[in-house]
Amino acid sequence: MDQQANLSSGVALSKLANFLITSFEKEEIKNQTKHGINVNRFVSEIATWYEKFRNAMDYREEEVVRRAAIERILKRRLLFGGNGEKIASPLMRELLWARYFPDSSISEEDVKKVAHTIDLYLALRTELISREINIGVKLDTLIYQLLSSHLEIMLNKNKDIEFISNFIFHILKPHIVIKDDTEENRDVQVFIAVRRAFAKDDLAFLRFHLFEQYFGKLTESSLPKIVANFQKGQREIARQINYPLKERIISYVKKQLPAFLIFTEILRKQRAGTRSLIKNLPEFQNAVFTVSEARYKTISSKVRRAIIRSVIFILLTKFIFAFTVEATYDNIFLGKIAWDSLIINVVAPPILMVIASLFIRTPDRNNTKRIYDRINSILFIDDPELDRKLTINLKPENKHPILNFTFTSLWWIAFILSFGLITFILSKLHFSIASQGIFIFFVAIISFFTYRISQTARSYTIPFRQSFFVPILDFLFMPIIRVGRRFTEGLVQINILIYLFDYLIETPFKEIFGFLEQWFFFLQTKREELG
């Protein structure tokens, strides 16, 4: 009630909120380029469906799919050498074909900038190779990640994410305390957490942002200095990315985001009209409730898309494992293929995932009220009211040895119970050892996928009180989820289908797309000659 009274009485916005709204008032969204590059609509339709299928095999957040596509195209086109001038134009056409950018939104000037940027990073790569600098990661992988991130940010003229990320960073920073570490390291970790939780940055984006923070922007003039300090800089970037407390900080930031996410939607919709809307209490409250209800509905569609992508990913990888590992094992040790267990192994995991997704719920109206109160807090109070501060230690505190032993024992008991029960049931169904291993492997992955999807569904939820069943579910399923996370990370790295598509299938496909586009242009020219 106090916050509502503050609003109605015309209390000034906080310094951070005022700066954010002013930035949106000044920012102009890039309109379609009048003389941008056009691509054939038929070719674009085919390429779009191809990209949807390809992306389903590579489980990523929707926010980084375009960057990943840029990296993938760069790898393929630079495989046998080349430079910016040769690569830039076909790269942009492929992105336009797949509708990663709207038709006509990329100009020839943009292509020149892309070519220049590609040449800069190729020059950086050449210099680093000549000096034989060891950076602890594969150099080509790092260069492709930095380059693709740079191009994505450069081509995406919308700076909304940057403005809001900065806003969230400055609000949350005082609420996170690392007792036995420097404020500088704390600030970097809060920055990383905001980029991961809000902007949905992947490892490539994080490396790029930290690269620019440490070295500044890559230019012809800065190149020698960057090369000279590259090893030291990358060592520091790796230390920050692998910081022991990063997951706890990310988790805390995620819990604070719902109000920021809803206000972001209002900012994007209102832009220059945001300030006047906030001054009108009833309209502002109505806008918060309207936007919240709309976002709750989009959660359902986002969850469905995530489930479909996950099922496709699982099915494709499952077929490889089932018909290579399991079938081979059955033939060698059993003398025949156990088709019953094979079919169950292929079909059951996706079905289990779909069933689990049915229990995912969207937020209610009471949650919207909490969001509204929280928005008022971050808009009008310099030190807004959030959840209690996160106070953590880099070095673990000395726990009572008995308690430490007890907790560790309970964790391993949960682990044994979870996987032991699955193994017992599969043994009763006469699954071979290989079939059991594959089933457990994919059940763990599905558990992790389902957990991630449930987190997506809760992205607009401000926790009120913990359910009675949460600790029980955590006890039984958290070991499986953690194992599934490790499996997923490893599976993405060795997904054979991805390499087949990227280097054996995609290349001729894209050449066919290019031929079709030229052919349709030729036919159009002939048609125009008829008058």
Supply the pTM of this predicted model: 0.78
Q: What is residue 296's predicted lDDT score, i.e. its pLDDT?
A: 87
Q: What is residue 27's predicted lDDT score, i.e. its pLDDT?
A: 67
Q: What is residue 236's predicted lDDT score, i.e. its pLDDT?
A: 95
Q: What is residue 33's predicted lDDT score, i.e. its pLDDT?
A: 47
CA distance 287 to 280: 10
Confidence bin at 526 (pLDDT 50/70/90)? low
| Alpha-helical regions (H) of 381-469 | 401-428, 433-457
Residue 13 has pLDDT above 80, yes or no: yes
The share of the chain scoring above pLDDT 90, in percent, equals 38
Using one digit for the tens of pLDDT, what is the confidence trace for 448-503? Answer: 888 887 887 788 888 776 565 566 666 667 788 888 787 776 655 555 556 666 66
Q: Tell me the HSE value of 451 on the side-chain side, using a 13 A CA sphere.
A: 19
The tokens describing 169, both together, are 């960073």
Using one digit for the tens of pLDDT, what is the confidence trace for 361-393? Answer: 778 889 999 999 999 999 998 888 788 889 999
Q: Which residue has the tokens 């900065």?
A: 166
Mean pLDDT for the chain overall = 82
Confidence bin at 8 (pLDDT 50/70/90)? very low
Which residue, among 111, 246, 132, 128, has the nearest Cα to 181 in the 3D structure?
246
Using one digit for the tens of pLDDT, what is the confidence trace for 231-262? Answer: 999 999 999 999 999 999 999 999 999 999 99
Higher pLDDT, 521 or 88: 88
Q: What is residue 5's predicted lDDT score, i.e. its pLDDT?
A: 44
User: CA dist 437 to 92, 329, 330, 424, 495, Å?
Assistant: 44, 12, 13, 12, 18
Confidence bin at 144 (pLDDT 50/70/90)? very high
Least confident of 169-183, 267-281, 498-512: 498-512
Q: What is residue 417's predicted lDDT score, i.e. its pLDDT?
A: 84
Residue 9 has pLDDT above 80, yes or no: no
Residue 230 has pLDDT above 90, yes or no: yes
Using one digit for the tens of pLDDT, what is the confidence trace for 186-202? Answer: 999 999 999 999 999 99
CA distance 364 to 464: 12
Residue 3 has pLDDT above 60, yes or no: no
Rg of the chain, C-alpha, whole Å: 26
Q: What is residue 182's predicted lDDT score, i.e. its pLDDT?
A: 93
Confidence bin at 4 (pLDDT 50/70/90)? very low
> Which residues are paired to 177 by β-bridges?
391
Q: Tell me the HSE value of 148 on the side-chain side, using a 13 A CA sphere.
A: 29
Which residue, among 419, 417, 460, has the nearest Cα to 294 in the 3D structure?
460
DSSP 150-205: HHHHHH----HHHHHHHHHHHHHGGGEEETTS-HHHHHHHHHHHHHHHTS---HHH
Using one digit for the tens of pLDDT, what is the confidence trace for 393-447? Answer: 988 766 667 777 787 788 788 888 888 888 888 888 878 787 788 788 878 877 8
Confidence bin at 142 (pLDDT 50/70/90)? very high
Higher pLDDT, 82 or 477: 82
